[in-house]
Amino acid sequence: MGELNPKPFQDACMQKFPSNECDMKSAELCSLWQENMQNQDWFPFKRIHVNGKFEEVIDENDEKLMQLKDAWGEEVHKAVCVALLEINEYNPSTRSVISAIWNLKEDRKAHLKEVIAHLLKQLKLKKTKRRG
């Protein structure tokens, strides 16, 4: 959780650079923003009051995020915001990426019950293959 999706960076760089430079430039840009997100001095969130509780949301007026959006477009901006929200939810103290098991079909973090069910299914398949 909190790792940037490189695809929007690749797409943006394909529009701005020749094909032989695109991969290197997108990797550099993605790495730069992954570092920016881990910077403890940068706090691109604002606290809002919702249903009697305070929540932290992305501050759309944050200067760095506005410059990113202007320079690289909406999709890159969105990828950074999604990763920032994940980091803030799952590991705000160190702002480092953490691993999570993902449900690719539903594009969300997998629940423990799903993980166990999948592992049991894989185990049964393996046993069936050994016998056959």
- pTM, two decimals, is 0.73
Structure confidence at residue 132 as a pLDDT band (50, 70, 90): low
Both tokens of 75, joined, read 């999709």
Q: What is the pLDDT of residues 82-112, one digit of tens each?
A: 999 988 887 666 666 666 777 778 878 888 8
Which pLDDT tens digit goes with each residue over 34-87? 999 989 899 999 999 989 999 999 999 999 999 999 999 999 999 999 999 988
Task: Examine the pLDDT at 33 and tell me if it is beyond 90.
Answer: yes
Cβ atoms of residues 58 and 65 within 8 Å: yes
- Res 92: pLDDT: 66
pLDDT at 95: 67
Domain boundaries along the sequence of the chain:
6-100, 101-132
